[in-house]
Amino acid sequence: MYNMRLCYVIIAGLIYMNAASAQSAGAAGKEWHNYGNDAGGKRFSPVKQINDANVKQLKPAWVFHTGELQTYEGTKVIEKAAFEATPLMIDGTLYFSTATCRVFAIDAGTGKEKWMYNPGVNLKADYSEITSRGVSAWTSGAKADKKETRIFTATIDGRLIALNAANGKPIYAFGNEGTVNLREGFGSEWSVTSPPAIIGNTIVVGSSMGDNQKIDYPKGTVRAYDVLSGALKWSWDPVPKDSTDKAWQTWKNNSATITGAANAWSVIAADAERDMVFIPTSSPSPDYYGGERQGQNLYGNSIVALKASTGKMLWYYQVVHHDLWDYDIAAQPVLLDIEKGNKKIPAVAVGTKMGHIFILNRETGKPLFPVEERPVPASDIAGEEAWKTQPFPVLPVPVGLQHITEADAWGITPEDKAEAAKRIAQYRNEGNFTPPSFKGTIITPGNVGGIHWGGMTYDEKNRLLITNINRLAAVIRLIPREQLGELEKADSTLLRTETGRQRGTPYIMKRTYLFNATNTGMIMQTRPPWGTILAIDLRTGEKKWEVPLGYMMDPSKYPGAENWGSLNFGGAITTAGNLTFVAATFDNHLRAFNTQTGRLLWQAELPASAQATPMTYEWKGKQYIVIAAGGHGKLGTKQGDSVVAFALE
């Protein structure tokens, strides 16, 4: 029988030629072809119709409504749902996904819907996260009249789906009628929340899973598939399976056979020219107690360079040894060039929750700025062996909340401040990398950053690496499993804190933060700013500027609150117009800053909070700035269903 599917794959293979170069050219110009614009995640656009001289003239151009809130009805999705997507723009069409993984294509000039694809995610199932940060696109390099574009989406229920960009229909020849089941062999906990990386005809996908409820999560295997057929090309495990792997010895007592996670849930960066992908890994499970996984735990909490075509590991660099703090690499690695001694060196910048920024040689993984292994505090938990040292970059200078004392206590009233000082004083607090304890340990920065999943952007002309950060301390307490009920009866506040069951270990984890939750919102217990945006000069590694980002408290009620900054989730972008655009804050605004000075130039209120990264493009002679404004259920920010575009009047 004539095999139509095989015939289609062969034909598609013939039109694949030069796909990677075609995508790179589009990303470098007036469109936005990848989550970070280019596959290396710079989040920079050369478009400069909107610039520092005219940005104050920006006005809403169109608004698109996804109808997402209606999909939540009859479920508890709204409690977790977060609209974190950054759209792509290809050939006059925007492509993006919603929290429930519905995929939309809308007109770049008008915001009118072209098509919508609903993968039918079961919204009554339990997911650790309910979000999708965007989709990925592959375009053949054939002539315009024969060009094929595919949109790929990876879902929270563990599917990789290929869609025809023209009509949103699944591509029959990919996988099983358009879908690859990522959960097969890995179980029902397998989710994906970030767009996969595409390099040539290979699509590379990580995973998102919880990591503090048990020890035996699935291993965070990274897999690569053929973009045409969906056939598996290779897989790589951050928790080694093979005793011949040199990393095996870094897991004592064969613990690599029982622990899991260390998964790459953030965005993977790709370098087509060098046939490389850069994998940011997370903490092995469980993340706050490592007594069942003693050792350095390679390749967890590492940036790992793999050969894109084969999956062969080229090098790795671990940013946290034996993680006890949930210090996943949450930000997409940024591929850029560093100039040293009149020589241009290909580099990768790795931003971390610790506020540490590692600048590594892209080809070797060796640091390009000094890094020191420094002693850190020991654990006082029976069964735990905290690693004795941790890597500290000397340059770039660490950013964010590195240490606090009682002098950093803050409150609206003197009573609030006194309560904050008393609370800070009661916990173990020895600075960076203080291990969790029975009495409770202050973790600075907390597990939400420092640099969070919003990541960094790079302005190559000015050599500025720009990032927004959080300045929030976490409090981690371990409780012997058999004592939990008794302690909760004695201290009712424990019932209101987040619980990590850490099944398979002797201890339960309780996590909270240094703020008071009141009927009017969060009252922070450390002095502001609580969120900032800053620039690092990569010629020197020094900080060039830092300013507060947004606000969390109403300035009309609390004078000065506009300078106190806000917790923020979602990243910034830079443009050739000397502008840095960022939303991310609790106050529902999109803002533009002068890239060279950090001066706030423009802001506009959005219909809902925007825990997402903006993007920009030029279409039919007009530049647009676009942001997804749908809020965040876990954070309690204002939710909605808007995609908003701004342009000059």
Catalytic residue numbers read 326
For every residue of 220-258, DSSP letters joined together read --EEEEETTT--EEEEE-SS---TTSGGGGGSGGGGGGT
Residue ranges of E strands in 27-154: 44-45, 58-65, 81-82, 88-90, 93-97, 103-107, 113-117, 130-131, 136-139, 149-154
Contact present, 411 and 523 (Cβ < 8 Å): yes
CB neighbourhood size of 538 (10 A): 27
Taking Cα atoms as reference points, which of 301, 321, 473 lies closest to residue 402? 473
What's the DSSP call for residue 17?
T
How far apart, in whole angstroms, are the C-alpha atoms of residue 290 and residue 436? 11
Please tell me the distance from the alpha carbon of residue 110 to that of residue 30, in angstroms, as a whole number. 17
Q: Which residues contact 25 (CB under 8 A, 6 or more apart)?
A: none
Nearest to 468 by CA among 351, 631, 553: 351
Q: How far apart are CA 285 and CA 324, in angstroms?
A: 10
- Which regions of 272-355 does DSSP assign to beta strands (E)? 276-280, 302-307, 313-318, 334-340, 343-351
The amino acid that residue 94 corresponds to is: L
Distance CA 14, CA 395 (A): 47
Angle CA 441–446–449, to nearest 5:
165
Kindly state the tokens that stand for 14: 């013939």
